[in-house]
Chain A
Amino acid sequence: MTHRLFPWLVPLSLLIAWQAAGEFGWLSNRIMPAPSAVLRAGFRLAESGELARHLGISFQRAASGFVIGGGLGLILGILTGASRIAESLIDSTMQMLRTMPHLALIPLVILWLGIGEAAKVFLVALGVLFPVYLNTHHGVRNVDPGLIEMSRVHGLGRWGLFRRVLLPGALPSILVGVRFGLGVMWLTLIVAETIAAASGIGYLAMNAREFLQTDVVVLSILLYALLGKLADTIARWLEHVLLPWHPAHARSLSSSKPGEIP
């Protein structure tokens, strides 16, 4: 077995090489500032309060867009998954809309909503809607019919069937949709903020570009990466918390005696 720190060897040496290249002047500060310079830029912006402000605004856009798009996707997905009528009414429309890249709508959205908050929230919501919808629909539709039949025989009504069988059965798939949605959420926000915004991390980067502040540009990119990683961690934590029964997500199936896990 390899040491626990072994996987960190490559990124660490890359980081050291990057710093060294900056120190010895092999890499112009214009093109690629050293990690220490990026860190310093981060501290500077944090001190002035700018960093928190832009981060806060970006987070707000991401969150509200995600809640609106994800919520709508969840509701529509459950509806079309559980009801044949809703499926034939809505699903083919959703499948058609889905093929349209939502980022292609940016010019139209700017015309409709300007470059204010609404435009960005709308784009994020639109981007998140489809992955959440598709996976929810798929999840509800693929709940084992045998389990549904069994539950009906055991006297579960419509609500009981939904709460005890359909929803928990679809949850693994819904969470896959949430994870996809989170990825789309950041990507959309980056594009939207880079093209037209007066605040947010994307704006921070574009503004810094005007003044050739490469360190701030790199900082913004790293911030996006960090936020993306954070969202992914939250999604994984959600899976762990919400799917304790699922062999793939539960670290150990609790209260089992040793040696009994098949």
Chain B
Amino acid sequence: MNLGVDVEVTGLCRRFGGKVILDQLNLSCRAGEFVAIVGRSGSGKSTFLRLLAGLDRPDDGDVRVEGKVLTGLCPSSRMMFQDSRLLPWLRVGDNAGLGLPKSERKRSLELLGQVGLADRVTDWPAILSGGQKQRVALARSLAAAPRLLLLDEPLGSLDALTRLEMQQLIETLVKESGATTILITHDVEEAVALADRVILLAKGRLAHEWEIDLPRPRDRSGQGYVNLTRQILGKVLVE
């Protein structure tokens, strides 16, 4: 089991044109912590995640991963997107092993097994359903044993039932991997179900945060869960 990294964000600013997307954002994540970020569209969630991945550069402030300022792509991180982004010309097994040296390809096959796609290894992505594609993408993200896992609304385009299944998969596999995880989501229930901490982003700033210390696996009809969900949702709507 590998250990997650700690992430320290200080004074992070990002502007596009004259528009301020991230405004002096501060945040720190403990190694192995699962943080969910909620907020309305346009609150800067995705921009923030891209900065953490090193896909974009901040105008001001910095991201530190294990104390080191991030200057390029973050090598210990992997990212999962809202669309699966599988390479259509590689078979499922090769997609899951993308970027891995030959010697580590076995891990990607094991992970495909864990997400229930062991029998689809030689299929082309085109014949998979949306949920299956996203499971391949999850396996691909975890195969490299990332120490920082960035999830950009990975379940946003799935139907309700597939979503629930994926949430369970993410909860078990991510906890098993030990990676520090940052999940962006529109779905407050999803955030409360998965995360150790939920953060509300509004107008490019950290508006609120909640520690979720409900026991896992979380009972979605439990009083604590329902109350927290309602409380967070109320804040999201106000901000």
Contacts and interface: CB of A to CB of B under 8 A. Distances in A.
B124 interface: yes
Give the one of A144, A165, A245, A247 with max B CB within 10 A. Answer: A245
B85 interface: yes
Interface string A144-175: 10110111111110001000110011010000
B88 A146 contact: no
A13 B167 CA distance: 66
B127 A154 contact: no
Which interface class (under 10, 10 to 19, 20 to 34, 35 or more) fits A? 20 to 34
A207 B172 CA distance: 80
B: contact size bracket:
20 to 34
A31 interface: no
Interface stretch (B20-28, B38-46, B71-79, B179-187): B71-79
A109 to B, nearest CB: 40
Contacts of A160: 99
With a 10 A CB-CB cut-off, give which of A147, A155, A160 has the most chain B CB atoms: A155
A64 to B, nearest CB: 30
A245 B91 CA distance: 8
Give chain B's interface secondary structure class: loop
Contact of A153 (B73, B90, B129): B73
Contacts of B129: 262
A255 interface: yes
A168 B77 CA distance: 26
Contacts of A156: 98-99
A260 interface: yes
Nearest to B91: A245
A253 interface: yes
B81 A154 contact: no
Nearest to A242: B89
Interface in A218-249: 243-247
A93 B88 CA distance: 34
B90 A164 contact: yes
A5 interface: no
Contact of B87 (A147, A261, A262): A147
A-B pairs, 5 with minimum CB distance: A154-B99, A155-B99, A150-B85, A168-B89, A245-B124
Given A149-B55, A154-B99, A256-B127, 13 more contacts: A146-B83, A155-B99, A155-B144, A165-B87, A168-B87, A168-B90, A169-B89, A243-B89, A246-B89, A253-B124, A253-B126, A254-B122, A256-B123
Interface of B: 53, 55, 73, 75, 77-79, 81, 83, 85, 87-91, 98-99, 122-127, 129, 140, 144
29 contacts: A144-B85, A146-B81, A146-B83, A147-B85, A150-B79, A150-B85, A151-B87, A151-B99, A152-B55, A152-B73, A153-B73, A154-B98, A154-B99, A155-B99, A155-B144, A156-B98, A164-B90, A164-B98, A169-B87, A243-B89, A245-B89, A245-B91, A245-B124, A245-B125, A253-B127, A255-B122, A256-B123, A261-B127, A262-B129
